[in-house]
Amino acid sequence: MYNIKNYTFGSFKTVADMHKSNYAILENVDSLGIKSLGIKYCPHLSFEDEFSILQQLDNKQIPKAYDYGHETLFKDNKVVLKQHFIVLDHMSSTDLVGYFKEKTVQDFQGQIENIIKCFISACDPLDYLHSKDFLHCDLKPGHLMLDPDTCTVYLIDYELAIRKSGVLKGISMDYASPEQLSLLEHLRNTPENVPLEATAFFLSIDGKADIYSLGAILYEILTGQKWSETKLPPINLNKSVPQKLEDIVMLTLEEDPANRVSTAKQLKQLLENIV
């Protein structure tokens, strides 16, 4: 049995490597009147910023956060290590990409409509997040969680989220937009004695960066390949992808943000038009 502060859990849902967070479902939350909570923890990564952002959000497809801190982890009442942690809603769902990877789109044409419905749902929390002047900056498999019974998609993991015009914290290379890659390269080359805010003003990112990442995830579901590795139109890899859907996917993946789908709301409308 594990304990952090007054939170108890018996097993890990995910066990991370040294660069990521561990996650477990809490067992002693009945007294809080909440159906299901999870705890995310890591020895070297503070969750203060993620907690602060989630405290400002109120959307059914985004988890609420209840506590964070830096406390000792115990295993069977023995000290293990001090850990940063955050307690938040546990979304009883499955990884969106993993769910469809278990199915063969080429053999089941009916899955295309379900995929579109899922991404229509994914646009809602993303549009809400952007309306609150935040960017997720780390959309990738594992951060979009699906309730397959309702095609509802939940947007999780805000460790790298920033305010619009904020300084980029990091990226996931396979799903990052071109402007995120350029900005990260610029920040890496900035001398340590120069304030980042003073040099990165001309390389700002906006919600279109998240749109690109969402498009890259949709591309991967439709083709089974990563856009960052192929750069081929979806139909080249999967003949069952409708032309209208391919057109939308390619609009999300435009290299130039000026030519990209502008907002999550616009993307939702485009997808709704082809269902």
64 vs 110 pLDDT, higher one: 64
For the cut 80, the answer to whether the pLDDT of residue 29 exceeds it is no
Among the residue ranges 13-22, 177-186, 248-257, the one predicted with the least confidence is: 13-22
125: tokens are: 């929390």
For the cut 70, the answer to whether the pLDDT of residue 193 exceeds it is no
For the cut 90, the answer to whether the pLDDT of residue 49 exceeds it is yes
User: What is the structure's pLDDT at 106?
Assistant: 53
Among the residue ranges 118-132, 196-210, 238-252, the one predicted with the least confidence is: 196-210
For the cut 90, the answer to whether the pLDDT of residue 184 exceeds it is no
Rounding to the nearest 10 degrees, give the CA dihedral for residues 170, 175, 178, 179.
-40
Count the Cβ atoms, other than its own, within 10 Å of residue 10. Answer: 10
User: What is the structure's pLDDT at 18?
Assistant: 36
Q: Please report which confidence band the pLDDT of residue 200 belongs to, taking 50, 70 and 90 as the band edges.
A: low
Is-contact 63 89, C-beta < 8 A? yes
Domains, in order of start, for the chain:
2-89 (3.30.200.20), 94-272 (1.10.510.10)
For the cut 60, the answer to whether the pLDDT of residue 211 exceeds it is yes
User: What is the structure's pLDDT at 17?
Assistant: 40
Q: How far is residue 192's CA from residue 90's CA, in Å, rounded to a whole number?
A: 39
User: What is the structure's pLDDT at 249?
Assistant: 99
Question: What mean pLDDT is reported for the chain?
Answer: 88
Is-contact 69 87, C-beta < 8 A? no
Q: Please report which confidence band the pLDDT of residue 165 belongs to, taking 50, 70 and 90 as the band edges.
A: confident
User: What is the structure's pLDDT at 19?
Assistant: 38
User: What is the structure's pLDDT at 108?
Assistant: 55
Summarize the confidence of residues 10-32 as an average pLDDT. Answer: 63
Among the residue ranges 170-174, 202-206, 268-272, the one predicted with the least confidence is: 202-206
Per-range mean pLDDT, top range of 74-83, 97-106, 146-155, 183-192: 146-155
Percent of the chain surpassing pLDDT 90: 67
Alpha helix stretches (DSSP H) within the chain: 48-55, 96-101, 111-131, 178-188, 196-199, 207-223, 227-230, 234-237, 243-252, 264-272
Q: How far is residue 131's CA from residue 207's CA, in Å, rounded to a whole number?
A: 10
Q: How far is residue 183's CA from residue 66's CA, in Å, rounded to a whole number?
A: 33
| Model pLDDT for residues 223-251, shown as the tens digit of each residue | 999 999 999 999 999 998 999 999 999 99
Task: Compute φ and ψ for 48, nearest 5 degrees.
Answer: -60, -45
